[in-house]
C-alpha cells in the first residue's frame, strides 16, 4: 500500500477535480486515513469471511460506476474486482491472472532493476499521467523526544529478512550513550523487542511496539537521527516521510526493486558473494542452507560507521 501512494499523488496533481477512492486490505486503513486526496476507503476483510466479503466488495464497486479502475496488485482477488468492476478503463499488470479482461495491460518486470514505485507509476501511462517515484504518507502531529534518538525496527514477517536478534543487542550495546533508542514494531513484535531490550542491558532503551499507529511510527521515524530497519514495512515508512534510514538486507537484495528511497538512505548487506543469495523474493521461515550467512556476516560495525 505504501509503495502505491505515488499513484495517488500523481492522479491528485493531474486531475484535482477527480474523485479518488482506494481499496485496502483490513489493517492498512490507517495509512490513508489522513490522506486529503482519498474520498472513500473500501476495506476488504480477508479474515472475517474472505470470499463473502470479496463478493460484497464487487457489488459496492460496480454500484459506484467508476470511470477508471487501477489495480496495483498481481493477485487473483484484486484482478477479479478489476475485471468485473464495470469500469470502461481497467488497468493492471500483465502478471495478474485476470489481465486478459483488463482494457490496458502493463508489463511488470521484477528483473528490470527499477523500483516498485516506478513500476506502479507505469500503470498511469495509459492515462498520460506522470508522477514522482517516492511514496508519501500524511502523518499526524505527535510529541517527539527532546534528546537525540534513533529507532530500531528488528522484526519482519519472514525470518530470513530479519537481522539476528543477537546482532541488534550487540549494536545497542555499542551505541553512544548520548543516544536514546526506541524499538518500533507491531503488537506482535513486543516480545522480540522486550528480549532485545533486556539483553542489551542499557539505559535509555524504550519499547514502543504496538503503541504507535503506522503513520505515527512514520512521524516518529522522521525525527530520528537514523532508523535502522530490515527489508520490511518500516523501511517503506521511512521512505514515505524521507527519514534517514539504514536498511539491512539479508536473504533478499535491493535489485528486486523494494529498497529505501529516502535522500539519506544506505543499504547494508554482506560484503561476501554467496551463491545462495538471494534465495527468494519474500524470504523464508528458515535459511534453506541452514547457515544464514547472508545475515550473520553483516557486521555491527557497518551500522556504527553510519552513525559516526
Q: Is 304 exposed, middle or buried (0-12, 13-18, 19+ CB in 10 A)?
A: middle
Q: Which three cell numbers stand for residue 222?
A: 522522521
3-state secondary structure of 292: coil
The class that CATH gives domain 2-127 is alpha beta
Q: Confidence band (pLDDT; 50, 70, 90) for 293?
A: very high
What's 124's DSSP letter? G
Average the pLDDT over 118-126 and give the result. Answer: 97
Rounded mean pLDDT, 117-130: 97
> Whole-prediction pTM value?
0.93
**Run of H or E residues at 216:** helix 214-222
The CATH topology of domain 149-307 is Rossmann fold (3.40.50)
**pLDDT given for residue 308 in this prediction:** 84
pLDDT at 48 exceeding the cut of 90: no
Element (H, E) at 118: helix 116-121
> Above 90 in pLDDT, residue 46?
no
Q: What is the mean pLDDT of residues 3-30?
A: 96
Q: How far apart are CA 235 and CA 240, in angstroms?
A: 9
205-221 tens-digit pLDDT? 999 999 999 999 999 99
Which stretches within 125-174 are classed as H helix? 165-174
Q: What percentage of residues in the chain have a pLDDT greater than 70?
A: 100
Is residue 22's pLDDT more than 90? yes
CA-closest candidate to residue 225, choices 161, 189, 175: 175
Q: How far apart are CA 276 and CA 59, in angstroms?
A: 46
What does the pLDDT average to over 79-100?
97
CA–CA separation, 233 and 170 (whole Å): 23
Place 110 in a pLDDT band, splitting at 50, 70 and 90: confident
Q: pLDDT digit string (tens) for 180-237?
A: 999 999 999 999 999 999 999 999 999 999 999 999 999 999 999 999 999 999 999 9
Higher-confidence position of 280 and 98? 98
Average model confidence (pLDDT) across the chain? 95
User: Residue 49 above 90 pLDDT?
Assistant: no
| C-alpha cell read off for 205 | 532503551
Does residue 13 surpass a pLDDT of 90? yes
Q: Parse the chain into domains and list their residue ranges.
A: 2-127, 149-307
Strand duo 40-44 + 68-70: pairing = unpaired
**Residue-wise pLDDT tens digits, 134-176:** 999 999 999 999 999 999 999 999 999 999 999 999 999 999 9
pLDDT at 281 over 90: no
What pLDDT score does 154 carry?
97
The label of the residue with cell 551463491 reads 275
Q: Do 2-127 and 149-307 agree at the fold level?
A: yes
Query: For residue 114, what pLDDT is reported?
Result: 94
pLDDT at 306 over 90: no
Amino acid at each position: 500500500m505504501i509503495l502505491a501512494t505515488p499513484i495517488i499523488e500523481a492522479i491528485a496533481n493531474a486531475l484535482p477535480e477527480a474523485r479518488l477512492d482506494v481499496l485496502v486490505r483490513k489493517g492498512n486503513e490507517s495509512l490513508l486515513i489522513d490522506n486529503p486526496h482519498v474520498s472513500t476507503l473500501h476495506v476488504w476483510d480477508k479474515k472475517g469471511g474472505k470470499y463473502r466479503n470479496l463478493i460484497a466488495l464487487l457489488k459496492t464497486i460496480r454500484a459506484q460506476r467508476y470511470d477508471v479502475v487501477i489495480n496495483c496488485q498481481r493477485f487473483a482477488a484484486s484482478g477479479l474486482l478489476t475485471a468485473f468492476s464495470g469500469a470502461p478503463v481497467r488497468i493492471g499488470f500483465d502478471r495478474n491472472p485476470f489481465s486478459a479482461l483488463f482494457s490496458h495491460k502493463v508489463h511488470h518486470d521484477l528483473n528490470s532493476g527499477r523500483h516498485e514505485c516506478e513500476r506502479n507509476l507505469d500503470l498511469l501511462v495509459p492515462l498520460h499521467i506522470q508522477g514522482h517515484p517516492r511514496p508519501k504518507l500524511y502523518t499526524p502531529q505527535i510529541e517527539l523526544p527532546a534528546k537525540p534518538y534513533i529507532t530500531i525496527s528488528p522484526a519482519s514477517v519472514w525470518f530470513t529478512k530479519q537481522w539476528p536478534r543477537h546482532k541488534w543487542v550487540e549494536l545497542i550495546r555499542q551505541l553512544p550513550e548520548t543516544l536514546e533508542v526506541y524499538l518500533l514494531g507491531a503488537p506482535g513484535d513486543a516480545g522480540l523487542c522486550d528480549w532485545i531490550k533486556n539483553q542489551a542491558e542499557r539505559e535509555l532503551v524504550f519499547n514502543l511496539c504496538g503503541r504507535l499507529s503506522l503513520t505515527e511510527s512514520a512521524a516518529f521515524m522522521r525525527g530520528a537521527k537514523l532508523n535502522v530497519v530490515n527489508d520490511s514495512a518500516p523501511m517503506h515508512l521511512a521512505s514515505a516521510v524521507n527519514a534517514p534510514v539504514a536498511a539491512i538486507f539479508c536473504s533478499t537484495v535491493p535489485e528486486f526493486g523494494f529498497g529505501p528511497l529516502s535522500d539519506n538512505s544506505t543499504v547494508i548487506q554482506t560484503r561476501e558473494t554467496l551463491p545462495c543469495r538471494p534465495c527468494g523474493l519474500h524470504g523464508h521461515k528458515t535459511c534453506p542452507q541452514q547457515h544464514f550467512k547472508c545475515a550473520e556476516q553483516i557486521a555491527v560495525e557497518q551500522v556504527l560507521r553510519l552513525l559516526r
